Amino acid sequence: MKIAVLPGDGIGPEVTHEALRVLDALRLPGLTLFEGDVGAAGYRDHGHPLPPETLQMAREADAILFGAVGDPSCDDLERHLRPEQAVLGLRKELQLFANLRPATMFSGLEELSGLRPEIARQIDLLIVRELTGDVYFGDKGTRTTDSGEREGWDMMSYSESEVRRIAHTAFRAAQTRQNRLTSVDKANVLETSQLWRDVVIEVAVEYPDVALEHMYVDNAAMQLVKAPGAFDVVLTGNLFGDILSDLASMCVGSIGLLASASLGDRQTAHGTFGLYEPIHGSAPDIAGQGKANPMATILSAAMMLRHSFGLEDEAKRIEDAVARALKNGIRGGDLGGDMGCEAIGKAVCERL
């Protein structure tokens, strides 16, 4: 089990350290860690936010545990040298097309949700977002027309095979949960969405045990706030998924709790190659102060054990330990508490 650990910038190293503490506490045999530079650290020492040696290390690993990138000192750099390019580069180079973002309400935190507690309590969903296609990667540009007006464009497109592979990911995920899948599109207006819907319906034939429904994205945004408990797995494209996953995750309460996996096609000995990271950034405002909540990164490590190493029981043990810590009142600053990063990491370990 080879893990490329890429702590990155700001609070990235602090939260990654605690996730490694938790992995260490599990005493998994055969675990080998490699550490690489990314982000501002990569730029400082190697002249690039995703140095070739880091990319190579990531390619040779079975999984990547990623902290966060971003540093205010890099704000004036050209776009391709900025720290944030590291994560975009990894996703693209390694074809990590399936972004999984679970949003689950932890018991005891309902009051922190933007939703009413009785509604927040129902949240237990998984967003499966396509990550390497759509309008973000289509032809784009700006120009000045003959009449002197400025114009900008970004082309939205999906190929059949791109939709098919992410649909399989989502159906398989639904089979491990409540066997319900909501595919979100805008098929009433967009041709891309019509193809999306047609392909999802074709793939559904292979999963007769999963109940499939389709929903327009505007309605999905409304329903996620109105009745989030109605969703199990939500499948959607890159643009809609970007927006809906932030929306869903914030219904849960804190950015310091939300984990993610970005999976590719490549199979490892016991699962799928993937990159695992908290959804938050490098939080320069609290970096270096030991104040960050490491739970999102710890939960990302649990996802890594599940998806890349087939260690479902160990993943559940970590998730249970985090849930119990929260129930026992272990709270970082993001949850209105005053516990530091290291203390939270140790509190989770004690409960393993």
Residues carrying an active site annotation: 136, 186, 218, 242, 246
Does residue 293 sit in helix, strand or coil? coil
Say how many residues touch Mg ion, by CB under 5 A. Answer: 1
**In angstroms, rounded to a whole number, what is the distance separating the alpha carbons of residues 1 and 268?**
9
- List the interface residues with ligand NAI, window 250-309 (CB under 6 A): 255-256, 277, 280-286, 292-293, 296
Cβ closer to ligand NAI: 70 or 228? 70
285 touches, from Mg ion, ligand NAI, none (C-beta below 5 to 8 Å by class):
ligand NAI
**In angstroms, rounded to a whole number, what is the distance separating the alpha carbons of residues 101 and 204?**
21
Locate tokens 């400082």: which residue?
Answer: 44
337 touches, from ligand NAI, Mg ion, none (C-beta below 5 to 8 Å by class):
none
For residue 106, the surrounding DSSP H or E stretch is none
Token pair, residue 195, equals 């193809």
- List the interface residues with ligand NAI, window 328-347 (CB under 6 A): 332-334
**In angstroms, rounded to a whole number, what is the distance separating the alpha carbons of residues 248 and 260?**
13
Q: Is 287 annotated as a binding residue?
A: yes
Among 35, 242, 312, 342, binds Mg ion (CB under 5 A): 242
Name the residue whose CB lies closest to Mg ion: 242
Q: Is 283 annotated as a binding residue?
A: yes
Cβ closer to Mg ion: 129 or 346? 129
Q: Using the rule CB under 6 A, is 87 a contact of ligand NAI?
A: yes
DSSP one-letter code for 66: E
Q: Where are the beta strands (DSSP E) in the chain?
A: 2-8, 32-35, 63-68, 98-104, 124-130, 140-144, 150-154, 180-185, 211-216, 233-236, 259-267, 272-278
- How deeply is 95 buried, as exposed, middle or buried, from its count of CB atoms within 10 A (0-12, 13-18, 19+)? middle
292 touches, from ligand NAI, Mg ion, none (C-beta below 5 to 8 Å by class):
ligand NAI
- List the interface residues with ligand NAI, window 52-81 (CB under 6 A): 68-70
Q: Give the residue ranges of the annotated binding site for NAD(+).
A: 281-293
- Contact residues toward ligand NAI (CB under 6 A) are 11, 15, 68-70, 84, 87, 255-256, 277, 280-286, 292-293, 296, 332-334
